[in-house]
Structure 1
Amino acid sequence: MTDIPYHFPPDLVGVLVDTIPLLRRSKADTVGFFRACGVGERHLTDLQHRVDSNRSSISKYEIARMVIARINEEGDSGLRSRREIIRRVVEWEDFSTSWPEDALKAQGLVAKVRTLVGTKDSFVRMQQERDSERHERLRPQREAAAAAAEKRKLRENLLSELGRLFGMADPRQRGLKLEALLNEVFKLDGLNVRDSFTLANEDGRVGEQVDGLIELSNQPYLVEVKWRKNRLGVDGVSQHLVRVYGRAGVHGLIVSASGFADTAVSQCRKALTQKTFVLAELREIVYLLEQGGDFAEWLRAKTRAAVVDGEPLFLPNFDSA
């Protein structure tokens, strides 16, 4: 009977008040019926006293009406007894406990309670099914909202960590931290990322250090990260240009915390006739983190500017002057 409404509705209250007094012959038995259903003594003591001291002062119908009204006003504490009352009434089959002249009427009223409870149970079940269906229908929206909130929190954390780098005194450690942070940044919007790695020469010695590799639409980009005091010149980009030239089908991405000198931009612009090179300033990363921008779309726009317009240092949302 778990689908019974949380409180007895008025129509069910009326039928129960008419039915329960007919199920047992005496007033004491009527009080006993409720006691057997788990109704607390605080609701029965005064009624039991009236039955014991002056039976004519109260009727079985008044007992039923008062007890049901009392437990119907309760919250969780009355739920169990309300359900037990319904269960006992709808399962009542022995009408020999009724007065003979009341037996047929009692049977009819029990049948009416069964009908009411069945109708309301069906309504509750339908409501539950609708609620469940709505819950499932809205699941993608809830999950998307939760994912968006988690992503915003991650962006805030990365932005905070990035801000702390500006206070680091050790340039080498700062550069390593920046490499790791940028890899986490690029992962935000679904870019496949391979963290920094080294390649060995034939003699087993380290021959090449790659800051990272990202993949956009199945296109790999070798990443170089630089944090120098001054704008990055030709010497700051040439090694990465050579590294990308030596690999077929690979684009190049250089991220500089200090910007790029015109000579470096010019050198990369010339290289665009053979390879795709994208130059990015760290302030772009900071801006995208602050504004919730999409890094995949950002990289697509910069790549398109490099390939179509011959502009390796395209600064969307920035004054490039």
Structure 2
Amino acid sequence: MVHDDAYHWPPELLELLIELVPRLSRSKEGVLGFLRGAGVGEALLAAHRQQLAADKTAISKYKIVRTVLSQINEQGDTGLGVRRELLKRAIEFEDFSTLWPDDRLPAQGLQANVRSLVNVKDAFTRMNQAHDDERAARLAARSAEATRLARRHAKFVALRDRLAALFNEADPRKRGIAVEDVLNDVFKAEGILVRESFALRNEDGQVTEQIDGALEMDGAQYLVEIKWWGEPVEINAMSRHLVRVYGRSEVRALFISASGFTAPAIKESERALSQRVIVLGELRELVVLLEQEGDVANWLREKVRIAQIDRRPLAILGADF
């Protein structure tokens, strides 16, 4: 691993290199060649060449290396490529047999120390990078969640306004169609698969069944019936819906009423629980969910749980759970 400091070598690494690099060449000319091969510019080496040409004893290998390495270490980003290449060559040097006998073991020890120091610093760099990446991921997740919640809030506000407007609709038929659309969009907003109202016809094209809608959640299918009447839903309407459910294998029933249910209708649903999951809900529960921006999917899950375990098809949000 090559140290990747963007500005310079730290003092401890610089001192190790100043001790190591001179030992990797037998001669002063060899040291200059090692430095030139690593990319050190001739401008930094020329004065040393001239000095050696005039008097080979005027300067030592260690003095040359200390001067040149200190200079390239102060070049900041412009010397980054040279520092990387020089460090790479020092770490990857292998043929210690070419060195002076007295330099071989010290050079190997110094190289090991350089590698250890570089690896430690790279480990810290990786840990810091991992920390930064983790923090960035957390911030991104928070931002995504904030965006999701803002979009969900906007959807719920719009749905709440649409539902509130229906209380002023005098035409029962228009109101009934509109509330189906609103509730379908409520379920869609929570990621629940919805099939909107549809009709089944016989071979002659006559309508045999009119279905207000169907839902799919947690792998279960629900046949949906929605009523906005002036009076509670009575047993006949409930029975008709249950017949449609019984005609479909393993399908569950969800019946939502804006005006509640009569006692016989609730009783009929209780009897049906021995064969299918029957869930009754009141429109006011969904009004509360929209106002509180509650979880509609969990609302339905809890009603299913109570229906299955307690054999109660009608459990009211805020009163029973």
TM-score normalised over the length of structure 2: 0.64
Secondary structure in 1 matching 2:299: helix
Equivalent residue number for residue 188 of structure 2: 184
Shift of 1:181: 1.3
Equivalent residue number for residue 195 of structure 1: 195
Q: State which of 97, 112, 116 in structure 2 corresponds to 1:115.
A: 112
Q: Does 1:159 align with 2:153?
A: no
Return 127-136 or 14-23, whichever deviates more. Answer: 127-136
Shift of 1:84: 1.3
C-alpha deviations, 1:75-117, integer Å up to 9, x for none? 6654432231123234264887x8xxxx334433432233224
1:271 touches 1:277 (CA, 8 Å); kept in 2? no
Q: State which of 296, 314, 317 in structure 1 corresponds to 2:316.
A: 314
C-alpha deviations, 1:156-195, integer Å up to 9, x for none? 35324424635699858844642441331453xxx6x341
User: Between the two proteins, what is the percent identity of the paired residues?
Assistant: 23
Change (3 A) 1:16 1:313: closer
2:245 touches 2:253 (CA, 8 Å); kept in 1? no
Q: Does 1:16 align with 2:17?
A: yes
Equivalent residue number for residue 86 of structure 2: 85
Equivalent residue number for residue 275 of structure 2: none
Q: Does 1:273 align with 2:273?
A: no
In structure 2, what residue type is equivalent to 1:195? R
Equivalent residue number for residue 286 of structure 1: 290
Change (3 A) 1:311 1:81: same
CA-atom RMSD in angstroms: 5.0
1:268 touches 1:312 (CA, 8 Å); kept in 2? no
Whole-angstrom distance in 2 between the partners of 1:31 and 1:232: 100
Unaligned runs of 5+ in 1: none
Change (3 A) 1:109 1:49: same
Shift of 1:126: 6.8
Whole-angstrom distance in 2 between the partners of 1:52 and 1:137: 54
1:183 touches 1:195 (CA, 8 Å); kept in 2? no
Secondary structure in 2 matching 1:119: helix
Secondary structure in 2 matching 1:199: strand
Q: Does 1:233 align with 2:231?
A: yes
Return 50-59 or 201-210, whichever deviates more. Answer: 50-59
C-alpha deviations, 1:282-317, integer Å up to 9, x for none? 3133146x24x3x44322333455573757251227
Whole-angstrom distance in 2 between the partners of 1:280 and 1:67: 84
Whole-angstrom distance in 1 between the partners of 2:64 and 2:43: 11
In structure 2, what residue type is equivalent to 1:91? F
Whole-angstrom distance in 1 between the partners of 2:79 and 2:183: 63
Unaligned runs of 5+ in 2: 273-277
Matched length: 294
Change (3 A) 1:312 1:45: same
Shift of 1:32: 5.3
Return 217-226 or 270-279, whichever deviates more. Answer: 217-226
Whole-angstrom distance in 1 between the partners of 2:66 and 2:262: 90
Equivalent residue number for residue 207 of structure 1: 208
Shift of 1:48: 3.9
TM-score normalised over the length of structure 1: 0.64
Secondary structure in 1 matching 2:113: helix
C-alpha deviations, 1:57-89, integer Å up to 9, x for none? 976434422443454466665443223112323
